[in-house]
């Protein structure tokens, strides 16, 4: 459920654009944005959402065979990837891998953002292996 | 901190451990009151002597269970109230690593004179139904960044850094079977353990289906109802009490500063903050890894065993899986590190860091009975992930006696 802070993120996702918040004080990206900038510790970070390339590398992954949340059982098994975006070291997002549970994965594999449309104008950022990776 | 000023000045003088069951026949609060009374009696004291109560009360579930004092948690204040006493000092540790955290509060209270006799307890509850299942249909607040993706709960949380470890160091998942078998072998000898008399085999481990690959059900401790309680006092007062005191030499804690998504625990965070926590422990206590006879590492999730072994310096980073594979943690093998000799969480049930602490206490006070080990002077009890938790060092000898 989007709130005041996250609404732009989900609006952009609905348009299939991945955005990340940048601190107006120190210029670093932070995901998710917080009351205090995790980089410069400013209490007035003035985070502004901006599009990012959506490209990154896989740092780790897990194949989910069971989910504690409702709504995921029909999708099992699915892969979650821990992705470091190219824009900034240690800027890491977790998302589903759209290539499926059998996809060949390795640490460092390049991926790019993809979007899964859930209907009602909601899209969730996910990742896809880059061709030839 | 150049050495912990209260080093050796505070000791454990008694304990009690309830049976560890899937679902206790009485409420958690009732179990806590009975266990607290037994611990106080074991220390040769009366309830009225105890003027400090400390715990870490967290109910570690991702599920939608209600948290109710006396039912799903037991706070220090609740316990003192039900015991009919008005302590000078009652406190709760709010971080991760609740067991060493509560010990640290107790030690500080006694060393400062805020209390003379402190009861440290840990009560853990297993609610009826699934421990972590959450019926949420709408992900709000912090959950909105990860739940819509299906990233939820502690199993996925530990699967990511564990897979990073496997990939980075070429470790094999099969090796972890030896960790679980070791924990269950020792837990099978512990009378109050849920797994008492139920050892485990490598084949059972390998046959288990994946939950969040590379994590299977046996990589996680089983949720239980159980309470443990320990009585602490000054080394000076401990001399007048019936049991051989076990002295606290110091502790180390830490927490990461890198900004992450909820429950996102990258391996580098675990190792860098964990390494600093270990450094703080060695600095506070003046110990080195080689001084420790009983390094009781935390194993609520099996990969923590590798991580703790490495951050504490019992083997080089990336080598713990090899150490395990070569029998290096077999507590029956001379020269090996008995890191799960008390059975740990995997061999007892989800008692958090209690089995680690209890094993240090029982062995160092020479109260381990048939399980008593010959070489047991210095112990270290760890709890939680190395980057959020803590570790306490214990000694069978008063400071300066070595």
Burial (0-12, 13-18, 19+ Cβ within 10 Å), B222: middle
Q: DSSP letter for B141, please.
A: G
Name the closest residue on chain B to residue A94, using Cα atoms.
B146
Picking from B132, B146, B210, the nearest residue to A94 by CB comes out as: B146
A47 band by pLDDT with thresholds 50, 70 and 90 = very high
Q: Does residue A63 belong to the interface with chain B, where contact is any CB pair within 8 Å?
A: yes
Q: Mind telling me how many Å the CA of B264 is from chain A's nearest CA?
A: 8
Contact between chains at B164 and A60 (C-beta distance less than 8 A): yes
Q: Mutating which of A8, A42, A68 best tests the B interface, going by the most B Cβ atoms within 10 A?
A: A68
Q: Does residue B147 belong to the interface with chain A, where contact is any CB pair within 8 Å?
A: yes
Q: Does residue A121 belong to the interface with chain B, where contact is any CB pair within 8 Å?
A: no
- Per-residue pLDDT for A114 more than 50? yes
Maximum Cα interatomic distance, chain B, rounded to a whole number of Å = 61
Average pLDDT of chain B is 95
- At B154-196, the pLDDT tens digits run 999 999 999 999 999 999 999 999 999 999 999 999 999 999 9
Q: Mind telling me how many Å the CA of A49 is from chain B's nearest CA?
A: 15
Q: Mind telling me how many Å the CA of B166 is from chain A's nearest CA?
A: 10
- How many beta-carbon contacts under 8 Å exist across A and B? 117
Q: Does residue A20 belong to the interface with chain B, where contact is any CB pair within 8 Å?
A: no
ipTM above 0.90, yes or no: yes
If residue B375 lies in a helix (H) or strand (E), which one and from where to where? none
Contact between chains at B134 and A80 (C-beta distance less than 8 A): no
The predicted structure's pLDDT at residue B1: 47
Q: Mind telling me how many Å the CA of B252 is from chain A's nearest CA?
A: 24
Mean pLDDT of A14-34: 97
Of all residues in chain A, what percent carry a pLDDT higher than 90? 83
B246 SS3 class = strand
Q: A119 is written with which tokens?
A: 């209907």
Q: Spell out the long-range contacts of A76-81 with Cβ–Cβ below 8 A and sequence spacing 24 or more.
A: A77/A101, A77/B213, A78/B150, A79/A103, A79/A105, A80/B149, A80/B150, A80/B151, A80/B156, A80/B160, A81/A105, A81/A111, A81/A127
The predicted structure's pLDDT at residue B62: 78
Name the closest residue on chain B to residue A70, using Cα atoms.
B135
The predicted structure's pLDDT at residue B136: 80
B/e letters for B72-91, b = 16+ CB within 10 Å, e = fewer, are bbbbbbbbbbebebebebbb
Sequence-ordered list of residues with C-beta below 8 angstroms from that of A74, at least 6 positions apart, any chain: none
Beta partners for B339?
A: none
pLDDT less than 70: residues of chain B: 1-2, 400-402
Cα–Cα distances in Å, from B330 out to B35, B92, B342?
Answer: 31, 35, 12
Please identify among residues 168-197 of chain B the ones whose CB lies closer than 8 Å to any CB of chain A: 168
The predicted structure's pLDDT at residue B402: 45
The predicted structure's pLDDT at residue A56: 98
Contact between chains at B212 and A59 (C-beta distance less than 8 A): no
Residues in A closer than 8 angstroms to B269, CB to CB, are: none
Of all residues in chain A, what percent carry a pLDDT higher than 70? 95
Contact between chains at B160 and A107 (C-beta distance less than 8 A): no
Contact between chains at A60 and B266 (C-beta distance less than 8 A): yes
Q: Does residue A95 belong to the interface with chain B, where contact is any CB pair within 8 Å?
A: yes
Contact between chains at B134 and A69 (C-beta distance less than 8 A): yes
Closest CA to B257 of B248, B266, B269: B269
- At B96-152, the pLDDT tens digits run 999 999 999 999 999 999 999 999 999 999 998 888 888 887 777 888 999 999 998
Picking from A62, A90, A92, the nearest residue to B213 by CB comes out as: A62
Contact between chains at B152 and A1 (C-beta distance less than 8 A): no
């Amino acid at each position: 459920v989007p709130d005041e802070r996250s609404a732009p993120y989900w609006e952009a996702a609905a348009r299939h654009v991945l955005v990340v918040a940048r601190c107006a004080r120190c210029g670093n990206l932070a995901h998710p944005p917080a009351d205090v900038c995790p980089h410069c510790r400013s209490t007035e970070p003035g985070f502004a959402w901006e599009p990012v390339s959506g490209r990154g590398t896989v740092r780790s992954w897990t194949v989910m065979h069971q989910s504690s949340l409702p709504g995921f059982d029909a999708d099992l098994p699915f892969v979650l990837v821990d992705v470091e975006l190219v824009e900034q070291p240690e800027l890491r997002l977790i998302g589903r891998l759209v290539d499926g549970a059998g996809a060949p994965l390795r640490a460092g594999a390049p991926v790019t953002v993809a979007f899964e449309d859930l209907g009602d104008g909601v899209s969730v950022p996910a990742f896809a292996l880059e061709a030839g990776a | 901190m150049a050495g912990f000023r209260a080093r050796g000045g505070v000791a454990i003088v008694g304990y009690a451990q309830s049976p560890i069951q899937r679902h206790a026949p009485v409420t958690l609060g009732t179990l806590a009151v009975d266990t607290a009374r037994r611990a106080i009696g074991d220390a040769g004291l009366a309830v009225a002597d105890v003027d400090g109560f400390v715990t870490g009360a967290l109910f570690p579930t991702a599920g939608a269970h209600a948290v109710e004092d006396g039912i799903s948690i037991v706070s220090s204040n609740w316990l003192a109230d039900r015991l009919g006493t008005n302590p000078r000092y009652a406190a709760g540790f709010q971080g991760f690593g609740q067991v060493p955290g509560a010990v640290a509060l107790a030690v500080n209270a006694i060393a400062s004179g805020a209390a003379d006799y402190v009861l440290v307890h840990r009560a853990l509850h297993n609610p009826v139904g699934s421990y972590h299942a959450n019926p949420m249909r709408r992900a709000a607040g912090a959950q909105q960044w990860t739940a819509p993706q299906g990233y939820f709960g502690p199993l996925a949380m530990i699967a990511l850094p564990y897979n990073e470890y496997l990939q980075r160091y070429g470790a094999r998942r099969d090796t972890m079977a030896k960790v679980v078998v070791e924990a269950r072998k020792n837990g099978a000898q512990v009378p109050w353990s849920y797994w008492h008399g139920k050892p485990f085999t490598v084949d059972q481990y390998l046959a288990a289906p994946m939950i969040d690959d590379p994590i299977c059900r046996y990589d996680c401790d089983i949720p239980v109802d159980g309470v443990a309680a320990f009585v602490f006092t000054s080394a000076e007062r401990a001399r007048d009490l019936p049991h051989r005191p076990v002295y606290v030499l110091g502790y180390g804690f830490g927490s990461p500063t890198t900004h992450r998504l909820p429950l996102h625990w990258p391996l580098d965070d675990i190792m860098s903050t964990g390494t600093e926590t270990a450094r703080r422990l060695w600095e506070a206590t003046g110990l080195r890894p080689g001084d420790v006879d009983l390094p009781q590492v935390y194993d609520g999730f099996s990969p923590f065993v590798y991580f703790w072994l490495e951050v504490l310096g019992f083997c080089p980073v990336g080598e713990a899986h090899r150490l395990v594979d070569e029998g290096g943690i077999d507590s029956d093998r001379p020269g090996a590190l008995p890191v799960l000799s008390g059975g740990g969480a995997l061999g007892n049930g989800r008692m958090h860091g209690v089995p680690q602490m209890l094993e240090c206490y029982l062995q160092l006070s020479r109260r381990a009975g048939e399980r008593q080990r010959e070489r047991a002077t210095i112990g270290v009890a760890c709890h939680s992930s190395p980057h959020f938790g803590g570790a306490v060092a214990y000694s069978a000898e008063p400071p300066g006696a070595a």
